[in-house]
Amino acid sequence: MSRATRGKNPLTSRSGPSVNLVITIGLVVVAALVIGGILLFNRSDDKATAVPADTLVPAGSHMLSTADSQRVTLVEFLDFQCPACASYYSNITKKVEEDYQGRITFVPRNFPLDMHPLAVPAARAAEAAGLQGKYAEMYHAIYNGYQEWAVSGENVNSDVAAATAKFEQYATTIGLDLAKFRTDVASPQVQAVIDKGIADGRDAGVNSTPTFFLNGVKFEPSGRTLADVDRQLRAKIDEALAG
């Protein structure tokens, strides 16, 4: 008999659990509580993943589509010179905007990346057009004309003067006051909107473009092709509309 049980009534020892069993049960209970706490903590995190609305859609945000119900809001942080953003526009977002027009609120936000030298000038052109009530028209003109100003051979273009000339051409085509457009493009007001997009994007955890949020939750597709991503995004939108 070990020192731990010496002098104890054998009947008492046999009728109750051993010290080792008690310790084992205690450890199991503690482990269960810890694991349960972790799972509960993770579930709480899952419920708290939505980014606040005022971070994603601050007052004055541009909207490519507006729904009266505000039930479904899709936000895209974009870089106009980003090749992936241009591909998404051509293969996904342009059609999503058309197909869900009036059924969802679709909000584009600026998130120009340092690696794209014409991303800020393009964002300035879009924001300047917005001051004349024609953000959407310039947004589409910039993306539809992507090959004209954004690329040079197989590389991204860095010719600011040439890109600026193109943006002014688009401004004329969509009926903007060109003198005002030129003034607004260089204004602190326009740059402040772009800077806020970058700051809000970082607060929301954006580190690449395009990045989408559907009703505040980051959309993270698993598809390998643009067609796969399109199907997954539409499925999420349809689910939200039906909810």
Report residue 150 as tokens.
């954004």
Res 4 pLDDT > 60: no
Is 76 within 8 Å of 145 (Cβ atoms)?
no
Res 48 pLDDT > 80: no
Cα distance between residue 241 and residue 218, in whole Å: 17
DSSP per-residue letters across 177-242? -HHHHHHHHT-HHHHHHHHHHHHHHHHTT--SSSEEEETTEEE----SSHHHHHHHHHHHHHHHHH
The residues with which 234 forms a beta bridge, in sequence order, are none
**Which pLDDT score is estimated for 43?**
33
Burial 160-199 (b: 16+ CB within 10 A, else e): eeebbebbbebbeebebeeeebbebbeeeebeebbeebbe
Res 30 pLDDT > 70: no
Bridging pattern class, strands 105-110 and 155-156: unpaired
Mean pLDDT within 107-134: 98
State if pTM tops 0.75. yes
Cα distance between residue 108 and residue 104, in whole Å: 13
Pick from 18-22, 38-42, 82-86, 164-168: least confident: 38-42
Res 14 pLDDT > 60: no
The tokens 């000339």 sit on which residue?
165
Mean pLDDT within 184-213: 98
